[in-house]
Amino acid sequence: MKALVYHGPGQKSWDTVDDPKPTEPTDVVVQIDTTTICGTDLHILKGDVPAVEPGRVLGHEAVGTVVETGAAVSALRVGDRVLVPAITSCGRCPYCKRGMPSHCRAVGGIGWIFGHLVDGTQAEYTRVPYAETSVHVVPAGVTDEQVLFLADILPTGFEVGVRNGRVGPGDVVAVVGAGPVGLAAIMTARLSGASRLIAVDPVRSRREHAARFGADDTVSGGDELVELIASGTPDGLGVDVAIEAVGVPETFELCTEVVRPGGVVANIGVHGASATLHLEELWIKNITITTGLVDGTSIPTLLQLATAGKIRSDLFGTHTFALPDMVDAYEVFAHAGEHDALKVVITRQ
């Protein structure tokens, strides 16, 4: 088959590789119908994720069709259309049983293995480990594009941003960073009943996307946010929830500044450096800070919402490619700003 193969920092190509087979009784093989590219894939290509070895097929999000099943698979059948999520769950380790497969012990303590520790989804076929406890059958009547972004980005915004942040009806929420994952937080915070949703991003086109995804206010920088809060929240005390969706110390620290006493800072950003935590001010502030990798436990909920038309996850897909044009898709996604791209949708012809 053909697949997008990583050949070390800066190098990738659309290669012919061996067809995958079930190697464990709990595996299935899925033909990829639709896949996408994640910001993490760009990090891998920069060499920032050393665990990814040359020769690895990239990608960790897909909608596809089951074409082969391992001996122990009884709940999935050949022909089933499934969502293959970023996180693999064995279903039996303490973390999976607790609903936290992001730390699945059976796959090494980090549930993200596709395109990382095993071959991924940017290919014609992929082998899916622990398939029955990991994938989701896609209901009839929804398109691939409507569910594709439930593989990673939408549950990330919802679980790590909105749920960890305990966003509920009436809350004033700031989302710092309006890239795809920030937009996912905005979309699902809106759904959760926020009364005022503020997006912060220095890039104008991103602020426009934020408004389209449901933000009430959009500001270009932290200073504007500080002013907006001073004038626009009760006693100027701060937002109920601040969601960090960038991944640098400055934006994290901004979140701890603008949250009100008793509020929550929910970190989604992938950080490469430590931040300063101003405990000399925060110790008395009764705040909660959360971090996390997505678990995907909300995917059934999000599938229900997407099927009912209550979330428009297809809005993320701004550019479409055929699978053999995967390298072109990378080109556009890597320069998303130039193309005003959010996410690319790559489909089998």
Q: Residue 107: which of 131, 73, 72 has the closest Cα?
A: 131
141-153 burial, b if ≥16 CB within 10 A, otherwise e?
ebebbbbbbbbbb
Among 11, 13, 23, 304, binds a copy of itself (CB under 8 A): 304
Task: Work out whether 301 is an interface residue with a copy of itself (CB under 8 A).
Answer: yes
Task: Work out whether 140 is an interface residue with a copy of itself (CB under 8 A).
Answer: no
Sign of CA pseudo-dihedral 27, 32, 35, 40: positive
Task: Work out whether 308 is an interface residue with a copy of itself (CB under 8 A).
Answer: yes
Q: Which is nearer to a copy of itself, 6 or 95 (CB)?
A: 95
Task: Work out whether 193 is an interface residue with a copy of itself (CB under 8 A).
Answer: yes
Task: Work out whether 312 is an interface residue with a copy of itself (CB under 8 A).
Answer: no
Task: Work out whether 157 is an interface residue with a copy of itself (CB under 8 A).
Answer: no
Task: Work out whether 291 is an interface residue with a copy of itself (CB under 8 A).
Answer: yes
Sole window of 41-49, 204-212, 269-277, 329-337 interacting with a copy of itself (rule: CB under 8 A) = 269-277
Q: How many residues bind a copy of itself (CB under 8 A)?
A: 83
Tell me if residue 19 falls in helix, strand or coil: coil
Task: Work out whether 24 is an interface residue with a copy of itself (CB under 8 A).
Answer: yes
- 174: which 2 tokens? 């700031």
Q: Which is nearer to a copy of itself, 1 or 191 (CB)?
A: 191
- 154: which 2 tokens? 């939408």
Q: How far is the CB of 329 from a copy of itself (least distance, A)?
A: 26
Sign of CA pseudo-dihedral 52, 56, 60, 61: positive
Q: In whole angstroms, what is the distance from residue 27 CA to residue 57 CA?
A: 17
Among 31, 65, 220, 288, binds a copy of itself (CB under 8 A): 288
Q: In whole angstroms, what is the distance from residue 234 CA to residue 325 CA?
A: 52
Q: In whole angstroms, what is the distance from residue 60 CA to residue 38 CA?
A: 8
Among 2, 43, 285, 312, binds a copy of itself (CB under 8 A): 285
Tell me which residues in 49-108 interact with a copy of itself (CB under 8 A). 70-72, 74-75, 90-100, 102-103, 105-106
Sole window of 38-46, 147-155, 202-210, 301-309 interacting with a copy of itself (rule: CB under 8 A) = 301-309
Q: In whole angstroms, what is the distance from residue 47 CA to residue 44 CA?
A: 5
From residue 38, give the alpha-carbon distance in Å to each of 20, 49, 66, 121, 132: 22, 14, 23, 11, 24
Q: Which is nearer to a copy of itself, 143 or 286 (CB)?
A: 286
From residue 139, give the alpha-carbon distance in Å to each of 50, 83, 144, 316: 37, 10, 10, 20
Q: In whole angstroms, what is the distance from residue 249 CA to residue 239 CA?
A: 19
Among 277, 322, 324, 331, binds a copy of itself (CB under 8 A): 277
Tell me which residues in 196-215 interact with a copy of itself (CB under 8 A). 196
- 61: which 2 tokens? 């999000």
Per DSSP, 53 falls in state: P
Among 150, 172, 239, 242, binds a copy of itself (CB under 8 A): 172
Task: Work out whether 310 is an interface residue with a copy of itself (CB under 8 A).
Answer: yes
| Interacting residues of 106 by C-beta distance below 8 A, sequence separation 6+ | 90, 92, 93, 96, 130
Tell me if residue 168 falls in helix, strand or coil: coil
Site string for a copy of itself, 319-338 (x = CB under 8 A): --------------------
Q: Which is nearer to a copy of itself, 18 or 235 (CB)?
A: 235
Q: Which is nearer to a copy of itself, 194 or 341 (CB)?
A: 194
Task: Work out whether 302 is an interface residue with a copy of itself (CB under 8 A).
Answer: yes
